[in-house]
Amino acid sequence: MQTFDYIIVGAGSAGCVLANRLSARPSARVLLIEAGLPDNSLMISMPKGFAKLVETTKYVRQFKTTPAADSWVRPETWPRGVMIGGSSSLNGMHYSHGQPEDFDAWVAQGCEGWGWDEISRCYREMEDNTVRRGRQCPPLADQSAPGTQSAG
């Protein structure tokens, strides 16, 4: 029987990064477990495929939310990715990052090194790319922007 120093359940973004970092130590024996399939479906790598992908159970599980009793929010269905890459493979290639004020609030609460000045450098490194697209934004972006803005 094999033994491992670390067993990581879930090969989403965090699980894969953690497994990679831990396995960088030559002596570490790391096992990464994922319930889902590899993320090699065309529906995953094509932004427009998002709409079809969330209708399947092959790569997606639907979870119902339960709002607080005093909330005005209605129950929602949240699709979660069950595949290598997890829900990060289930986002229609949409990307956004937190607001500077949120990171600075973390520092005010004692999380040194997590302020916008520190974190923004990481974002600049990730965002240093050239994306080409046609004259119009993808329809999903047009539909999601107003909802995101109204949510604050």
pLDDT number for residue 140: 66
pLDDT number for residue 81: 92
Is the pLDDT score of 27 beyond 90?
yes
Per the model's pLDDT, the better-predicted residue between 38 and 126 turns out to be 38
Q: Which of the four pLDDT bands, split at 50, 70 and 90, describes residue 70? A: confident
Is the pLDDT score of 93 beyond 70?
yes
Is the pLDDT score of 143 beyond 80?
no
The CB-side HSE value for 32 (13 A sphere, CA atoms) comes to: 20
pLDDT number for residue 132: 59
The CB-side HSE value for 8 (13 A sphere, CA atoms) comes to: 20
Three-state SS sequence of the chain: CCCCCEEEECCEHHHHHHHHHHHCCCCCCEEEECCCECCCCHHHHCHHHHHHHCCCCCCEEEEECCCCCCCCCCCCEEEEECECEHHHHCCCCCCCCCCHHHHHHHHHCCCCCCCHHHHHHHHHHHCCCCCCCCCCCCHHHHHHHHHHHHHC
- Residue 46: CB atoms within 10 A of its CB come to 13
Q: Which of the four pLDDT bands, split at 50, 70 and 90, describes residue 42? A: confident
Mean of pLDDT over the chain:
87
